[in-house]
Each structure stands twice: as C-alpha cells, then as structure tokens.
Chains A and B, each alone.
Chain A
Amino acid sequence: MSAPKTISEKILSAKSGRDAFAGDTVVCDLDLVIGTDASSPMAIDYFERMGGTRLFDANRVVFAFDHYAPPSSAQTAAFHDRVRTFVGRHGGRLHEVGEGISHQIAVERGEVLPGDLVVGADSHTVTCGALNVFAVGVGSSDLAAAMLTGKAWFRVPETIKVSLVGERAPGVAAKDAALALVAMVGAEGANYHAVEFHGPALVKFTLEDRLVVSNLAVEMGAKAAIFPGDDVVAAYLAGRTTARGRPVTADTGARYAHEIVLDISTLTPRVALPHDPENVVTIETAAGTPIHMVFIGTCTGGRVSDVHDALAVLRRGGGRIAPGVQLVVTPASREVAERLTAEGVLDELAAMGATITTPGCGACCGTSGVIPGAGTNVLSTANRNFKARMGPATVSIYLGSPAACAAAAIAGHIVDPRDLDR
C-alpha cells in the first residue's frame, strides 16, 4: 500500500498514472484548459509556432472574454476576433463578452468537477480549488502546449495545511479571513506550494466563501488552493450538473510542509493598504481614509453573496451614497447578474446611483470598465492593489470586504461596517 497523500499528491498521481509525492516531476493529463482574452491571443501565436493544427480535444478547451468586456478599443476588439477566428477553425468552447470571468463560469457551469486537474492562463484560476480542483495558473506558452497536447508537466508541490477553527463573528466576511491569511503567510509564503484547507470551521464556509479564500491564495504565491471534496461541494454541484466528479480528501498521515491554524473567532474586518495585498491591517487602522471610488466586483468579490452583503450595508446607510463617491458594481458572471436582476438588486443599486457594468473583470486591472481618476483613493473587493493596477500610478487602492466597501460608499471614507449605524 502506498504512503498517505495530500489532496494534491492524490490528484497529480491520478492524472499522471504514477504514485507521485511532493518533489516528483510528473506529466499529467488535463481535464480542462482555460484561456482568456488577455492570454489567448499570445497562446494562439505559440500554438501556431509549435506547429499546432488541432486542439487535443475541443471539448476540453475553453476561452472566456473577460478582461476586455466589452472591448473599449479597436485593439481589444481585434484580440477578440483573433480568438473567435481560432475557435471557428479549431473548435473549443467560447464564452463571449458578458458571460463572465473564466474561472467563475467554470465553477458555475460544472466545467470543472471535484478531483479535476485544470490549467488556466490567468493566475486566479486557483479559485477553482474551492470546488476540490487542482487548478493552477499558467502563462500563454503553457496554455498553448496544453491546448495542443492535453498535458502539462508539474513538480508535485509540498502542501501547507491551513486549519480553520472557531466561530466567525457577525460582520466578518470570508474576505477578512482570506486577507488575514495572506498577512500571516506573506506575499511569497506559499510560493511553489499547494495550500489545503482543513478544520472544524470548514463546514461554515459556503462554496462562495471558499472561492474567495482560494482566489486570494495566489497573492501568497500558492500554486493551488484546495478545499476537500465534502458535502458543501456536493451541495453546490447538486442542481447545477448531474456529474459529481471524483471528490478527493487528504489521507490521514499525509505529510505537510507545515500547518497554520487560523482562529476565525478572533478576526475583525481587515483592509489591505496600497500597494501590496499583504499590507493587511485591521480596518480601524485605516478608518477615516477618504474614498472616491468603491468597486464591488471581480473573481474575489463579484458574486451574489458579495453583492447581498454590500446591499445590506447600503440599505442600513439609507441607500445614500456619499457625495463625491463613485460606486461601481460588476457582477462576476452572467449568472450572477441574472440572479441579481431577478431579485431587483441591480435596479436598487442603480437607483442609489451605482454604475453597473458588464460581467467580467471590470475595473480590476484597468482593462475594461471604470478607470479611477489620478490621485484618487479606491476601496475594492478585488485581490490586487498594485500601483497603477487600475490605471493611473497615482491611484491608491485599498482592498476590503463587500461590506467594508459598501460602508465606505455611504460614509465617504473607510469605516468599520459594523460601526456604520452607530
């Protein structure tokens, strides 16, 4: 009998046909290959230079138009046409402008399933780890090789075990837990490693909560960020797809690089200060910072529960957005937008003065949607606050939970959302 394995070791063993452990190099069969409008044009160049004439399996290659949604220039429109022409010739599934962010669609539509191995040419592909998937971000050349061969090579990563314990206090979001974890681990603390989630508090993390946590793991360098294939995963899939995948849990006695215990009962709201996601402080440290744009969206904070959290705070504030604050809401996908539309939420937000934009990446990396003005401060539900990330280098980006963002929209400055009605 083989030695006990982590989730990553199990998935990479299954996909390579070897008994693989951390440190081994393996060549694996891929279940899904994902490109975006930002990475696929270059990947198509590589694919053609590699001598590619056909996809390894047109049913396992997906492209999503999310970074330039909608295209706001002739060049970004040309990027889209390049990918459309490629799909017309070679096949592959195309998610057009407005369908949403690549990995969000993959999770919603059952394109990825528990136990799968996925590469995506978008660093936030790790988000799919919430669904018990070994999902890893790659560049355009690895995407091209995957499109052509259906394979990728990996060094099987060591795993950091993160145990979630304690009861989460009201008003503390998954984003606060994720930011706290990034601060604990640091910007490169999980580099080359997989992160695996355990602990008694796991069951209290909904699938949407888990997507937030897996998503932010790449800001500590993680190669993959995997939740176990438990009842929360099964419940999410039920009603979406009849497929169940091959849920994976870690073996007792699996070897970990080290273990981190995150007691969520001690957490309070957090924000990340400019210009690195690891610059995390408790929100009172930043309280009073004037905010000019509030952005609720992205693959971190643009899902239904995020917008619900924000709306609850906005309602508590009387729905009156502070003068001088621009509130921008970008649903992560069409499904999210349709649900919020059916509930009347988007209409309610628009009536408050919010700008609602096309589902996709939106303003996150300055490639579509609203560009903040020079010298302004932004509070965002996104994952990255690098200098010039959203456009001008003089913009200061703060990262927080949807509730913290909504509270700032009401107050005009950073404030603990739990203090808003005091």
Chain B
Amino acid sequence: MSIVLEGRARRLGDNVNTDYIIASTRKRDTLDEQILKRYLLETVDPSFAASVQPGDLLVAGRNFGCGSAMEIAATVNLAAGIKAVLAESFARSFYRNAVNNGLIPVECDTSSIREGDRLVVTLSDGRIAVTTNGRTIAARPLAEFMLAILDAGGLVEYIRAHGGSLVS
C-alpha cells in the first residue's frame, strides 16, 4: 500500500476532544456527515468549517480526539475532505476510529508546522513520513493490524474480505 496526500496544514492545539470536533448536541440532530461537516470544530473556531478545503490536513498538539469515543468525530473529517490528522499524540479511541474509517492518524512532532504550511504525507511499506518546509518529519509507524485495516480500506472492507471474521 502506498498513499501520498498533499494539502494545507490547519493548526489546532492540545487536548482537542471529540465534542470539539463535532458537538454531541449536533450529532443528536443528525448522523449525516454532509450536514455535520458544517459544524466541524465549531467550538474551537466557529469560522473553521467554512474555511476548510478538500485536501486540508489537521495538525494538532497532544491528545487529539480525547473524551467521547463517538465515531462521527472521525468520519466528519472525511466528509469535509480531510484525509489525515497529524498530532503529537492521539487518544486511543479516536486513533482506532480513524483507522477503521480510513482516516490516517499521523503521530509525529508537529511543533514546527504552522497554519497554511504545505504538507506531503507519505504512507509506504508501513512507514509514514511528513514533508514540510523542505524537511522530513518521521512519524510513528502504524501497528500491523491497523495497517491491514487501512490497506483494506477500513474495518468494513477488512471484515468483508475476511468472510465476516476478524482473523483469517
């Protein structure tokens, strides 16, 4: 599997919880990500959703996706055209939800990345690298099981490919 993503960095801070990504009160009204994407990260910045362009990449600090394990907080990013999230660290439930839906969680040193920077994220042979401002940032490799799920296209496709089972 080889994936190359190019896009614009959208800077966020530490401890962005899933309620900030999409509020529980929005999810109460609909599960349609095409509607919910209008409210992406509204608690952090009410103007954020309108400024998102397909291909944008979220770049956060520590503990991205903490709080509720709600999966819509992963899928709403994909609906907005965001295919990867870079962070110093991720909360485990968000990390798992992201992989299960094909949203790539990139754990790396994001301290030098600024709003608007052009990023190239390369996932190849299980290794992830981020290129920005002419330099390459190494990222933590994905666990083998997670790579297999991403490779399949997500958990749904993985399970279908394994005849309704988690193991071959």
Contact = CB atoms under 8 A, between A and B. Distances in A.
Nearest to B15: A187
Contacts of A75: 28-30
Given A139-B100, A145-B155, A187-B15, A121 B166 contact: no
A25 interface: yes
B166 A191 contact: no
A68 B28 CA distance: 8
Contacts of A306: none
Given A139-B71, A367-B24, A388-B19, A191 B63 contact: yes
A39 B70 contact: yes
Given A386-B67, A387-B20, A192 B92 contact: yes
Contacts of B69: 39, 121-123, 137-139
A76 interface: yes
Interface stretch (B52-60, B120-128, B156-164): B156-164
Interface in B15-33: 15, 17, 19-20, 23-25, 27-31
A52 B165 CA distance: 10
B110 interface: no
A211 to B, nearest CB: 19
Contacts of A188: 15, 62-63, 66, 89, 91
A388 B43 contact: yes
B45 to A, nearest CB: 11
A151 B167 contact: yes
A85 to B, nearest CB: 16
B139 interface: no
A57 to B, nearest CB: 14
B28 A367 contact: yes
Nearest to B71: A139
Contacts of B160: 50-51
Interface in A250-280: 276
Interface string A28-47: 00000000001101100010
B72 interface: yes
B84 to A, nearest CB: 18
A24 to B, nearest CB: 11
Interface in A105-152: 121-123, 137-142, 144-145, 148-149, 151-152
Interface string B88-102: 011111001100110
Contact of A51 (B68, B70, B91, B164): B164
A221 B63 contact: yes
Contacts of A67: 24, 28
B68 A365 contact: yes
A218 to B, nearest CB: 8
Contacts of A276: 15
Interface in B141-168: 143-145, 154-156, 159-160, 164-167
A138 B96 contact: yes
A140 B28 contact: no
B92 A223 contact: yes
A148 B164 contact: yes
B28 to A, nearest CB: 5
B74 interface: yes
B31 A384 contact: no
A95 interface: no
Contact of B71 (A25, A27, A42, A51): A42
A290 interface: no
B20 A38 contact: no
Given A139-B96, A142-B96, A188-B62, A384 B156 contact: no
Contacts of A2: none
A374 to B, nearest CB: 13
Contacts of A245: none
A353 interface: no
A142 B29 contact: no
Given A50-B164, A138-B96, A141-B71, A221 B29 contact: no
A366 interface: yes
A153 B91 contact: no
Given A42-B72, A386-B17, A149 B28 contact: no
Contact of B166 (A39, A151, A155): A151
Interface string B63-82: 10011111110100000000
B100 A187 contact: no
B54 to A, nearest CB: 23
Nearest to A140: B71
Contacts of B164: 50-52, 148-149
Interface of A: 25, 27, 38-39, 41-42, 46, 49-52, 67-68, 73, 75-76, 121-123, 137-142, 144-145, 148-149, 151-153, 155, 187-188, 191-192, 221, 223, 276, 365-367, 384, 386-389, 391, 393
7 contacts: A137-B69, A139-B70, A140-B71, A142-B155, A145-B166, A188-B66, A367-B25
Interface of B: 15, 17, 19-20, 23-25, 27-31, 43, 62-63, 66-72, 74, 89-93, 96-97, 100-101, 143-145, 154-156, 159-160, 164-167
Given A25-B145, A191-B92, 8 more contacts: A27-B167, A142-B96, A191-B63, A221-B91, A221-B92, A367-B24, A389-B19, A389-B24
